[in-house]
Structure 1
Amino acid sequence: MASTARRRNLSTTLTAVAIALTGTLSAAPASGGQTADQRTKPTIVLVHGAWADASSWNGEVSLLRRAGYTVRAIGNPLENLTTDAQTVQDFLKTIKGPIVLAGHSYGGSVITNAAQGVGNVKALVYVDAAAPAVGETTARLSGPTSVLTKGSPADLYDAVPYANAPSKASALYLKQDVFVSKFASSVRHDQALGLWATQRAATTVAFNTPSKYAAWKTIPSWYFISTGDQIITPDSEKAMARRAGSKVTLYKGGSHLTLVSDPAAVTKVIQSAAASVH
């Protein structure tokens, strides 16, 4: 009788352990650590613009991850629109499932080309960005009242040579006063100075390479426009958004770096685009 009781107790204990282990395994995330919720959401890919780097998206990355998205802010070479777009496209092709692709500034030109022919890019988001048509250059889309259009190159940039540059090409850094007072006017002064000090140069070739594609013709798009943007003017962005049929969010104030000074507002638009993907 005692032996029978022990066997029953052992059986009960083993059953409880099996149930506990099953529950633990069921709760564990699969697919490389993603939760089931993350696997049902699109991956968000963020492409930075000129005179910035991937850290310009830090606020959006934090908020989107908190909302359960898989998000990647990737490097943009800032060298040549055609090859920059190819670099981004190669990265996109490593991602399974739907993608929401966002670009800031010159990064908008890059996503316009990189998304072409990548079937799982389901939405484009332009954040104070250029959205060129075929044959247009980024340089021509700043708008007639942009500080980049009105100012002389000598007053705007520190131009430096770079290795293997084509003839007459330069790498351009924004001068401190232009960066702080025009490019990043909505950012705290001390932070803007830090961003100026760590800016990445963009080449003249990048700005003057004609766009080969216009992915916004076939992919739904969203446009975040800061009324205080002095680099790509609101009027220019509105015109690009209109021809692309984009869903427009007009942000009162801000600057060309609203993505840094108010990431929550930009994130809201990215999430709207993501919500459209099923």
Structure 2
Amino acid sequence: MSKPTIVLVHGAFADASSSWNTIARNLIGQGWPVLAAANPLRGLHHDAEYLRAVLATIPGPVLLVGHSYGGAVVTQAATGVASVTGLVYIAAFAPDEGETAGALDEKFGGAAQRVSQARPLPGPADPQGPPNIELSIDPAQFHAVFAPDTDPETAALLATTQRPLALTAMLEPVDAPAWKTLPTHYALATNDQMIPVAGQRFMADRMNATTIEVPTGHAAMFGAPDALTDFIISAGQAG
């Protein structure tokens, strides 16, 4: 069986290169085909449709890996896509049917509401929808809550180049979660402040996911790249 292409999906307040460079380099070095997708961060259904369009261009099997909000995107996007053989969540949201990432965030008391800054988006707001705003993390708190496993200079750069998330992305519910039909793996970041580990464990347990724990903050790819690389490879081999 050919190796699946590993598609890495970043979350909010991040981008493909800063999130995945080290893990992508590790995977490529071990002979795995890799694509780090550019998650638009404009809305769950919009982002999932974009990811489906990316998946349609990839020949052969695919293993989807999502970090943070990227977990919600892969949960929505992979349903009904025959090429997807499995899902890997890294400190990620994994909503159930009708559930939103925002509801999970509120349920488990993540730091996002405390450290986020809002700014208006252009265009008219939908009177029946959420406020037309996007969110970013207060740069002064980025190191402590998002990327504590980096040095202060790296964290400052990540805070400066972070990509905001449209509020609607946190408020749109998942339709049919792909984890109900696909093999699922979950890496829990035990020092995470954005998605506390109790919330991660709840999501991993209800998916009956194969799990590991890494002693990192939310941006676990910086604190445990080798362990996460091995975990992703094990998921790819299992599929």
Task: Please indicate, yes or no, whether the TM-score normalized by the shorter chain is above 0.5.
Answer: yes
State whether structure 2 residue 114 is matched by structure 1 residue 144. no
Name the counterpart of 1:172.
Answer: 135
Root-mean-square deviation (Å): 1.3
State whether structure 2 residue 45 is matched by structure 1 residue 86. no
Name the counterpart of 1:272.
Answer: 234
1:209 Cα deviation after fit = 0.8
- Tell me the SS of whatever aligns to 2:142: helix
After TM superposition, the score normalised by the length of structure 1 is 0.81
1: CA distance between counterparts of 2:231 and 2:189? Answer: 13
2: CA distance between counterparts of 1:100 and 1:106? Answer: 17
Match of 1:102 among 58, 61, 65: 65
Match of 1:159 among 86, 93, 118: 118
Q: Relative contact order (alpha carbons < 8 A, sep ≥ 6): 1 or 2 greater?
A: 2
Equivalent residue runs for 1:174-193 within 5 Å? 174-193=137-156
Name the counterpart of 1:23.
Answer: none
8 Å CA contact retained: 2:52, 2:77: yes
State whether structure 2 residue 220 is matched by structure 1 residue 258. yes
- Tell me the SS of whatever aligns to 1:40: coil
- Tell me the SS of whatever aligns to 2:46: helix
1:237 Cα deviation after fit = 0.8
2: CA distance between counterparts of 1:45 and 1:163? Answer: 31
State whether structure 2 residue 33 is matched by structure 1 residue 74. no
8 Å CA contact retained: 1:82, 1:212: no
The number of equivalent residue pairs is 233
Match of 2:203 among 223, 231, 240: 240
2: CA distance between counterparts of 1:260 and 1:72? Answer: 18
Tell me which protein shows more helix as a share of its residues: 1
2: CA distance between counterparts of 1:194 and 1:97? Answer: 36
Q: Structure 1 residues 51 and 133 mapped into 2: Cα distance closer, same or farther (>3 Å)?
A: same
1: CA distance between counterparts of 2:100 and 2:109? Answer: 17
For structure 2, list consecutive stretches of 5 or more residues without a partner in the other structure.
Answer: none
1:163 Cα deviation after fit = 2.6
8 Å CA contact retained: 2:108, 2:195: no
Q: Which amino acid aligns with 2:43?
A: N
Larger Rg: 1
2: CA distance between counterparts of 1:247 and 1:268? Answer: 13
After TM superposition, the score normalised by the length of structure 2 is 0.94
- Tell me the SS of whatever aligns to 1:199: coil
Give a deviation string over 1:185-224, Cα, whole Å, max 9, x none: 1111110110000000001101111111210000000000
